[in-house]
Structure 1
Amino acid sequence: MSNRKIHYAWVVAAAVFVVLLCAAGVRATPSVFIVPLEREFGWSRALISGAVSVNLVLYGLVGPFAAAVMQAFGIRRTMLISLVIIALGVALTNLMSTPWQLFAFWGVLVGLGTGTTAMVLGATVVHRWFATRRGLVMGILTASTATGQLVFLPILAAMVERHGWRTVSLGVAVTVALVIPLVALIVRDRPSDVGERPYGAPPGTKDEVAAPINPLANAIGALGRASRHRDFWLLAGSFFICGATTNGLVGTHLVPACLDHGIPEVRAAGLLALMGICDLLGTTASGWLSDRFDNRWLLFWYYGLRGLALLYLPSAFELSVFGLPVFAIFYGLDWIATVPPTVRLTTQTVGAADGPIAFGWVVAAHQVGAGAGALGAGVVRTALETYTPAWVVAGFICIAASLLVLRIGRSPRPALAVE
């Protein structure tokens, strides 16, 4: 083993953190585009939300196949291709003038690219590079998705106000392109590529090398094996609700909802940034907790508290000073704290070999939920001219999810005991 003071696993994790951060910033961008696109093209909020929904669904559906592609062709190569697709898709939105272009560029291209550089990437890197501290590292990597909002949203909102959305799309594309050399220089596929063993692994540990297999067949096969476990469906169902109430509802529609209440766009984006700060803390802490406590009960509290926060949100808009900041702090601490426990429970359910790909399918359910949440809230707002029913329904389904997750581990078919 190398005598480096810093294990190279942490270097790879840092590079992946930056990639996930940028991808999160790209996914957050539509929330500051909705109103400008309405004004410039006359498109309805339901139509724009439809394109966002396509993006979110593809982001999830590509996940399990991305995990299989990483196994077949390597993490580094897969990341590089996905970043090129993201940069191209965002750059092309600068030229769009019709709805089909919005769906093709932002919905399809950006959805495919960001879906590859997503939570399944973090899960694959953690599984391959770390033998210990997996929960903590997954928490840190997951938190980068919220940190992306912290870094990008207030800047993007200010740029949209001053220079227009087209300048913003070009700036985001350039930012993503600048990350490509970082990945090419730093990221490696396996610890053995740099003469290391996985962090925390005992001497003599060798890399797990998957047998050559078609990525499509591998992804479908992993789904077939996972689907035999009831707990897999409980995890997928709860994560569907997670996606509907975070990326789909709040991530897409909080800024437009604030504008409906006369709150300036930059200030509204600042609320999402505040959530990003809180989630960086909350999700990192969740990773630490998932290594030490019953993950089912962690999810129970996360979903239950999120539901209460969403039920409070309609009242928060009416409170002058502290209403929305209190919501942002409370909701932000809980934003995606669900990820580390869900990763761990998925691996315990299906085993280490299928864990990353099975989690990719769970993420697919998350993003189908996100797409449903984004589209549903857009339709509600278009039809009723208010988001209040969407907030209330989301609050109650989160409370339902908090009860659903307590059924995990009670299957008559015992889960596999793995790290």
Structure 2
Amino acid sequence: MMQNSNLAEWKSGWPVVLVGIAGAATSSIQTVALSLIIPSLSTELGWSRAAISVSFTITTLGALLLSPLVGALLDRFGTRRVAIAGVIAKASALAAVSLTTSQIWTWYLAWVFVALAAPFASLVVWTKAVAGRFAKQRGLALAITMTGLPIANIVFTFVAAQTMGAIGWRAVYPVLAASALCVVLPLAVFFLYDERDLLRRRARAVGETVQAALPRALGRGAEIGEALRNRRLWQIFIPGFLVSMSLGGLMVHLPSMVTDAGATPAEAATVFALAFGPFAFAGRVATGLLLDRLHAPFVAGAAFILPALAALIFYSANGDIAWLIAAGALAGCALGAELEGIAYLVSVYFGQKNYGFLYGIGFGFYSVGFGIGPVIAGHIYDSYGSYERYFVFIASALLIAVPFITLLGRYPDWGSGEERAA
């Protein structure tokens, strides 16, 4: 019976997961190419690399401020409308980056438009659609959706590099924007029907008003005020923030950390490729499978503690390449698990009623943490000439904070997937 229920979820919900993979892949294209074009941009326009990198800060602030609003719109109007408009708006904003002039304020203005548009096509949108369509297999469905992120790192980095080599940096973002538009928009138009859309169809089929059907079917879950006062929400978000801060610093500075430990540049490139390629992919899938089978706080707590273990190994590796690969693998597995862990915990502890708004807050915290992590790591290195204090800092913070996730307790009863289908 359980197997039939699982198969039924996938039989009806796989198109939404397909859209989610494409959406997740294109949700990060604004940052995928930035590291590639910074040298050319600096040479052509004479700007410092630090000044150019402010664009990343702008998008991080956009995610923090707008993700809760996006989530509230998703809860009110459904995923389909927000996603289609968001993909078009984000593609237009990205294409406009190519219009930057020699005045740096035009670069910042272009990224303000990206920051305003990107949250409307972010992971908040795609996870909302998937989480609402799956109950028994929600963890695996979210994990497969998140595999779009490592796919993007491979595909769009290659596309950006080829475009820049053939045409120049100004063509990179228009090409990436067109790629996102051509892939995601048709999929969203034809296949993106979340739980709310299906309920509208059922209501019309039985002659019931949509206004009567939606509150009864989608009303399960915590109210916003109730959730914000609930300690469980902050037991999820605060460790999630610390994990994202740790992973942001580890990801951006990993090649330097490995070479500082005595490895060659080629070995550093190998560690980076393994960590944020196959290990990140494996971490997402493994976490999704475990979330559906075990108590989710234990799974998330174990995944969130991995960056602390990676930091401790980096601290004591002494240039041993095997240990450096092991540390990178742990960081990569954590990078594959953190966002789906937060999404899953919010959905099971606070229900679907205001999931979009609540996960939007969590995603905003995550984005800020991921943005300031590299700054903290860089500041510590500049001040002390090594990353050792950064390793101690993140290991201590995570070892203290993350265990609180395991104390979340039993899941509230928001109703089963079969009840919603009925």
Could you tell me which residue of structure 2 aligns to residue 116 of structure 1? 120
1:353 aligns to what SS in structure 2? coil
Given the alignment, which residue of 76, 88, 95 partners 2:92?
88
- 1:5-50: per-residue Cα shift (whole Å, max 9, x none)? 9734211220121111122333333333444444444544443443
Q: Quick check: 1:416 aligned with 2:415?
A: no
> Does structure 2 conserve the Cα–Cα contact (< 8 Å) formed by 1:54 and 1:371?
no
* Paired AA for residue 285 in structure 1: A
Could you tell me which residue of structure 2 aligns to residue 51 of structure 1? 55
Deviation at 1:67, TM superposition (A): 2.0
Q: Quick check: 1:192 aligned with 2:198?
A: yes
2:334 aligns to what SS in structure 1? coil
Given the alignment, which residue of 17, 20, 23 partners 1:16?
20
* Paired AA for residue 139 in structure 1: A
- 1:251-299: per-residue Cα shift (whole Å, max 9, x none)? 44546878999848xx859935751332222112211111121222222
Separation of aligned partners in 2, 1:155 and 1:325: 27
Separation of aligned partners in 2, 1:66 and 1:317: 46
- 1:294-339: per-residue Cα shift (whole Å, max 9, x none)? 22222222222222213444777956x6576544433222213133
Separation of aligned partners in 1, 2:383 and 2:9: 59
1:9 aligns to what SS in structure 2? helix
Could you tell me which residue of structure 2 aligns to residue 298 of structure 1? 299
Could you tell me which residue of structure 2 aligns to residue 340 of structure 1? 340
Separation of aligned partners in 2, 1:315 and 1:162: 44
Deviation at 1:383, TM superposition (A): 6.4
RMSD of equivalent CA atoms: 3.9
Could you tell me which residue of structure 1 aligns to residue 214 of structure 2? 209
- Structure 1: which 5+ runs fail to align? 198-205, 212-220
Could you tell me which residue of structure 2 aligns to residue 177 of structure 1? 181
Could you tell me which residue of structure 2 aligns to residue 394 of structure 1? 394
Separation of aligned partners in 1, 2:85 and 2:318: 42
> Does structure 1 conserve the Cα–Cα contact (< 8 Å) formed by 2:275 and 2:331?
no
* Paired AA for residue 347 in structure 2: T
Separation of aligned partners in 2, 1:386 and 1:162: 38
Separation of aligned partners in 2, 1:178 and 1:113: 17
CA 303–70 in structure 1, closer or farther in 2 if over 3 Å, else same: closer
Could you say which structure has the larger radius of gyration?
2
> Does structure 2 conserve the Cα–Cα contact (< 8 Å) formed by 1:122 and 1:138?
no
Q: Quick check: 1:240 aligned with 2:244?
A: no
Could you tell me which residue of structure 1 aligns to residue 310 of structure 2? 309
* Paired AA for residue 237 in structure 1: I
Q: Judge which range, 231-240 or 300-309, deviates more.
A: 300-309
Could you tell me which residue of structure 2 aligns to residue 142 of structure 1? 146
CA 259–113 in structure 1, closer or farther in 2 if over 3 Å, else same: farther
CA 249–48 in structure 1, closer or farther in 2 if over 3 Å, else same: farther
Separation of aligned partners in 2, 1:88 and 1:381: 38
Q: Quick check: 1:104 aligned with 2:109?
A: yes
* Paired AA for residue 232 in structure 1: L
Separation of aligned partners in 1, 2:351 and 2:54: 36
